[in-house]
Amino acid sequence: MSFDLVVSGRAFVKGEIKYSEIGITDGKIASVKSSVKGGEKRIDVPGGVILPGFIDPHVHFRDPGMTEKEDFSSGTLSAVHGGVTCVLDMPNTLPPVTDVSMLLDKKDHVKGKAYADYGLFAAVTPGCSAGMLAPLVPGFKLFMGSTTGKILLNDDAEIISTFRDIALTGKRISVHAEDDRMISKEKENNCRDHLRNRPVEAEINALRRLSRFKGMKINICHNTNAESVALAGELGFTTEVTMHHLFFEADKFSSSEYKVNPPIRNSAVRDKLYRSFINGKISMFGSDHAPHTLSDKSKDFDEAPSGIPGVETTIPMVMNMVRNNTITLKQAVSMGSETPAAAFGMRKGRIEEGCDADLSVFDTRNFAKINVRKLHSKAGHSPYEGWEAVFPDIVMVRGEVQIEGGEFCGEKVGKDAYGKH
């Protein structure tokens, strides 16, 4: 059998690291064996480990409508530099994706702009055409708490009706789980005030209200506390966690740089969340990449928008945790590749025959400090400046090399994972 490309080296295959030769044809993995003959081109990986490309199930690329903050080109360029080969973009753009017409317009708008593969979420709104939208999206996004954009839906009767329609499609619903009725609008001067206005009880109560949907395909975004994680697990929901909720606390990190919805919590809540993560209780990582310009984030706290950029730094920080033996490589791949691919119905996330040839090579001996000047988001700032991270040496999207030797060498090959190619 002839292959377009053969990639060989130590690879993470079926839960183990072993020498493998990966034959790729037409952007798909066609063979994974200890020895593969042929190949028009071969790439031998002398160091590091070949991993499945990582998937970020939660980004806000601000395209269309707010492209001064980010667009699909800058966002996906950031993604591949962080080892992310597929991103799932949220619908709270301008205009928001609330129907088939708006979705198709957004698909046309971003087509040809991406360096990584992608999917576009649709918003959960009253009477949304779930059956028509479902084949075109990775899933649906419900905002129970107010945040960037105006697609809030926090009425139980409307949620029940809409969820019933979505359940018939088999698609997953990602939920921003904060009960908006418990969110205060009092003036804020720092992250402690923001935490007071958006208490952890709002998050937990939103989960309680979702308990009627036990067993349904629901994903709880950006969990901030162990109680929510445990309740979501009991209900059979998948869960996401961000780096900012794992590592920041409101008392120590108080400026608008750390303002985000839901908010960073106090140290006691953060520590319990971290233990849940270490103990494998959380399904997947999600950066909740939410870029704003430096001038926006430099406003007085009360006026500054909520959101933290992270698509380029999340997986490098995860791989640094692997380097430090904080988590295992198996957990990193499960949370970063395998679970999001399975949750959102993609033939990605594994080095197996039939999967897209999305690969990333990380060598944990090569760590560096995050330097904002070397990041690629339009945001131009990061709360992780100076933190240690392991960036990828090689990144491939469907067999197309985007990063080699840690440097960008690719093209806009990204495709809609839920569109007709």
Whether residue 292 is annotated as binding a ligand: the answer is: yes
Residues 87 and 279: their CA atoms lie apart, in Å, by 26
Per-residue buried b or exposed e for 277-291, using 16+ beta carbons within 10 Å of the residue's own CB: beeebbbbbbbbbbb
Residues marked as catalytic: 288
Whether residue 245 is annotated as binding a ligand: the answer is: no
Residues 326 and 403: their CA atoms lie apart, in Å, by 27
Whether residue 288 is annotated as binding a ligand: the answer is: yes
> Among candidates 399, 394, 420, which has minimal Cα distance to 351?
399
* Joined tokens for residue 417: 């994972």
Whether residue 60 is annotated as binding a ligand: the answer is: yes
For 83-202, strand residue ranges (E) read: 84-89, 117-120, 122-123, 139-143, 172-176
Whether residue 72 is annotated as binding a ligand: the answer is: no
Whether residue 58 is annotated as binding a ligand: the answer is: yes
Whether residue 109 is annotated as binding a ligand: the answer is: no
In this structure, what DSSP letter does residue 372 have?
G
Crossing angle of helices 267-278 and 226-234, rounded to 10°: 40
Residue with tokens 């020498």: 19
Whether residue 81 is annotated as binding a ligand: the answer is: no
Whether residue 92 is annotated as binding a ligand: the answer is: yes
Residues 317 and 384: their CA atoms lie apart, in Å, by 9
Whether residue 61 is annotated as binding a ligand: the answer is: yes
Residues 360 and 397: their CA atoms lie apart, in Å, by 9
Strand partners, 23: 6, 31
Binding residues for Zn(2+): 58, 60, 141, 176, 222, 288
Binding residues for substrate: 60-62, 92, 292
Binding residues: 58, 60-62, 92, 141, 176, 222, 288, 292
